[in-house]
Every structure is written in C-alpha cells, then in structure tokens.
Amino acid sequence: MHRFIKSKTGDVGQPQQLSKQPNTLKYRLYKDLQPCVKEGETVAKGVPVAKGKWQMLHAGRGGIVSSVTDDVIVIDCRNITDNASLVDNAKLLKSNPCDFAIQNGFIGMGGAGFPSAIKWNISEGLDTLVINAVECEPYASVDQSLLLNCTQTVFDGAKALQEALNIKKVILAVKKSFFKQIRPLWDGDIITMSDRYPGGAERLIVGKLTKKPLPAGEFPSTRGFLVHNTTTIYSIGKCLKEGTPITDRPISVIDTEKKTSKEWFVPIGTVLRDFLDIISVTIDLDKQRIIAGGVMMGKEISLDSTIDKNTTAITIVSTTKRILRDEKPCTGCGSCNDVCPIGLHPIELANRIRTGKMQSKAFHTQLNECFFCGACSAVCPSDIPLADIIREERQS
C-alpha cells in the first residue's frame, strides 16, 4: 500500500490529426443550450447550431442537419466547402472579451465545462492569469503534449488574453517532474505543483500561490486569479490564428492496462464508436469499460456517446481485479486522511453519514469543503467508496 497516488505520465507524444473525418457529428446539448437550426437545414462549417446565454456550439463540418431534439443535434456531414463568414477575432477580443468568448464557444476545456465568459465578465481585480498544465490524473498527457508541441499557439493565446483583460502577470503551473522540460520553452513565472494526485486542482494552485488555502464556495477570482486549462488557452491561440470558433479539441486516449496514452485532435461531436474505428482501437466490452475523462474523476460512457467540448480523455480500463471488489469493514488505517489534499477525515465523515450523526457544525464544514477528487476511495485498502458516500450526502 502506498498512501498517495502518483500522477505518472507516459511518453508525451505529438497530438495527431485523424486520418479520416467522421461522417456524422452528434452534439449533446448541456446546461442552457437551445438549438438554433431546423431539421433539414444545410449548415456550413463554423455556423452556430445551438446557443445559450454564456456559450455556443458550432458545426464542426458542413452538412445537413438530420435531426434536432431537445438534447441532441445530429449533422450528416457532406462535402460543403463554404465556411461561415470569418470574424476579426483579434479585434473582438480586444474590444469585448466576453462577447468573444460567447461567439466562439469558450468553456473550460479541462473537464469542468464552466463558461469562460462568466470568468472574464468580472472585469476588475483580476491581476494574474494561471495556465494550469498540471494534469494530475494518472497517465493523462494532453496538456503537456500541447505545451511541448504547440508551444507558440499556447503562448500567443495567453498573451492575447493577458492584453485583453489587463492582467499583470502570467504564471504557468506544471508538475514538478515536468519542470525541466518546460523551463527552456517558457521564460515567465512557473509554479511547480506536487507530482501526487490531485495536484492540479484549481483551489490547490491558488492556495499555494497565496499561501492560504482557498475555502469551498470561493472562486479564484476573489483573490484576483484567473485559472485556465492549457487546452482552453491553446484554443484561444488557435481561434485567433485561424479565425474559426472551437470545433475540435485535443484529447488523449489512455489504455490503463498498457499504461500508454496517445493524443489526437478530434472534432467535437464525434461519436465514440466512429472515433475508435478511425484510430483502430478495439474494445472488448466484457472485460473493458470506456471512461470519459481520466481514471480518477471520469464517468463511464457507452460507445454511442459523443466527445464533448470538455472531454479531456478517453480512458479504457479493464474491469478485472480490484475495481469490482466489495466493501470490507474499515481497519482504521487512516490512508484516506493521509491522501486528502485538504486534510479532511473521509472515513469519519462516512461513518457519521452512515450512523446519522450529522448535527455538528464541524461535520458540515468538512462535508462542504470536499471537492470529490476521489483520492480517498482509490487508496482505501478495504475498498470503501468514501467519495461516493460523501457525494451522495452533499447532493441530497
């Protein structure tokens, strides 16, 4: 037993383009997105297909809209060459950053999916931009791959955003083990985070920068920080260079059994089945499962799901061995407290939830501080689903 989770990275390769584009794109409408196209309509590349108050979805390829429902838009791709009219993005970003974020569909692409426009809307008091490239999920490597291979685009994006929002300083947050590789490429400030999961949590980075933990319910912006994932910053750079909204994103495909990961540029809305076909990965559904996101915080998905704007990785895990084991009584080893990044007592919380002793103020403080990184469940030698128990109680 080791009482920590090492966020190891495999070989960081270059993100590759798909050899063949998918024939259908399926857009899942989340949050307040409303479709703005009709069935049978012909759309060009880059035309918005759904709009919300703070974000938009754009067609990744030209084609015919084959079906529109409340939560899914399907586009049958054809060879339509005309693009949507190009907007002068650089000018828009300077004059109205919020509008730029909405028009080009920027959301947090590191997994949270929080609309960037809301973050940028707080015009005053932001003085530091943090590029989060920590990627603490074991095996994930897409951010590091972007920093090494598309360095210029990422830094252009950061510079443009810095100018637009009048931010004084840009800090790059990386893992300790990645510091040597990135030092020659980046001449600004670098903050190194722990190699242990969850080192890349926004709250921990801001807490380390201000030397005061960031409590639950408080956003980094209250301390003047704007934290963005590398993929988001990269997308800004790309958007300014090419003038097109976000229609594709880099993701890593992780095989936990072989412990390898590979990076691909994938159009948003690609159905997983098509994607795995194109990159020729076969899956045995009896023994393996597909996870959207990393192994620690991901969600199990089916082959018919799509790749969303905030899908950072596709992980293939095998269901043998320990993951399926039943819960055993607690031995009181305290691993969960050892591994908790903010020093909570997960087993104590779980015990109190199960026995119904939930009146005390201390209990509620600890319950509200948890951000469900799942580290306690992963190290528990008795396989108690601590994070699940706490999450259920929080949601009820």
Contact footprint for another protein (CB under 8 A): 1-6, 138, 212-215, 218, 222, 256, 289, 291, 293, 295-300, 315, 317, 319, 321-325, 328-329, 331-335, 337-338, 342-345, 347-348, 360-363, 365-366, 369, 374-375, 377-379, 381-383, 385, 387-388
DSSP one-letter code for 338:
H
- The nearest distance, CB 380 to another protein, in angstroms, is 8
- The nearest distance, CB 390 to another protein, in angstroms, is 12
Question: Looking at beta carbons only, is 251 or 339 nearer to another protein?
Answer: 339
- The nearest distance, CB 284 to another protein, in angstroms, is 16
Question: Looking at beta carbons only, is 69 or 318 nearer to another protein?
Answer: 318
Calculate helix-pair angle for 142-149, 230-242, nearest 10 degrees. Answer: 40
Question: Looking at beta carbons only, is 127 or 338 nearer to another protein?
Answer: 338
Contact (CB, 8 A) for 13 and 140: no
C-alpha span between 339 and 309 (Å, rounded): 30
Question: Looking at beta carbons only, is 169 or 328 nearer to another protein?
Answer: 328
Question: Looking at beta carbons only, is 170 or 295 nearer to another protein?
Answer: 295
Among candidate residues 120, 371, 94, the one with its CA nearest the CA of residue 232: 120
Residues with Cβ within 8 Å of residue 381, at least 6 apart in sequence: 1, 331, 333, 335
Residues with Cβ within 8 Å of residue 222, at least 6 apart in sequence: none
Question: Looking at beta carbons only, is 60 or 293 nearer to another protein?
Answer: 293
Structure tokens at 54: 């703070």
- The nearest distance, CB 185 to another protein, in angstroms, is 30
Instruction: Give the bridge partners for 250, in sequence order.
Output: 265
Following CA atoms 377, 379, 382, 387 in sequence, which dihedral angle do they give, to the nearest 10 degrees?
-10
C-alpha span between 274 and 262 (Å, rounded): 17
- The nearest distance, CB 349 to another protein, in angstroms, is 9
Question: Looking at beta carbons only, is 147 or 386 nearer to another protein?
Answer: 386
- The nearest distance, CB 299 to another protein, in angstroms, is 7
- Rounded to a whole number of angstroms, the CA Rg of the chain reads 21
Question: Looking at beta carbons only, is 269 or 346 nearer to another protein?
Answer: 346
- The nearest distance, CB 334 to another protein, in angstroms, is 4
- The nearest distance, CB 387 to another protein, in angstroms, is 7
Largest CA distance in the chain: 65
Among candidate residues 140, 113, 105, the one with its CA nearest the CA of residue 251: 140
Spatial strand order of the sheet with 48-51 comes to: 34-35, 48-51, 56-58
